[in-house]
Amino acid sequence: MKVCFTSTGATLDSPTEERFGRAPYFIIVETGEGSFEAIQNPYADGAGGVGPKAAQLLITHHVKALVSGLVGGNAREVLGTAGIAMYTYNGGGPVKDAVDKFNNNTLIRS
């Protein structure tokens, strides 16, 4: 299953990013295999409406779950309608810590 983690950088050691629409990178992890792909967020510096745009990007990449700190109302509506589950991870730890917590089912659904 493809799970997206919002990140400040392109690696699993990069600190996580709390914002969704303006996250610099989306790290998409294939949870069964542990492989991942880093996508630079083209909307990170956009003027407005970045939440729905970023959500559309996750839909295009067939993501099934999102782990982030803050997901705004518009993005939440798009993700919810598309059936993408949202989980909260705060504190700015590295992406690999968020991946471990997701795999251990210790993250809370938002």
Partner 1 sequence: MKLAIASGKGGTGKSMVAANLAFTLSRTRQVTLVDCDVEEPNLYLFFPTPAIVTEVTVPVPVVDENTCQHCGLCGEFCQYGAMTVLPDRVLFFPELCHSCGGCMLVCPNNAIHEEQKRIGTVVISRPLPNLKLISGMLDTGNPHAVPVIQAAKKEAAEDPLVIYDSAPGTSCPVVETMDGCDGCILVTESTPFGLHDLRLAVDVAGRLNIPAGVLINRSDGKDQETLGFCKDLGLEILMTIPFNREIAAIQSRGNLLCQVQPTWQNAFTGLFTKCRDLCKGD
For binding to partner 1 (CB under 8 A), which residues are involved? 43, 46-53, 55-56, 59, 74, 77-78, 81-82
What is the nearest approach in angstroms of partner 1 to the Cβ of residue 84?
11
**Minimum CB separation from partner 1 for residue 78, in Å?**
5
The whole-angstrom separation of Cα 83 and Cα 59 is 9
**Least Å from the CB of residue 82 to partner 1:** 5
Closest CA to 82 of 110, 59, 51, 106: 59
Q: Which is nearer to partner 1, 5 or 43 (CB)?
A: 43
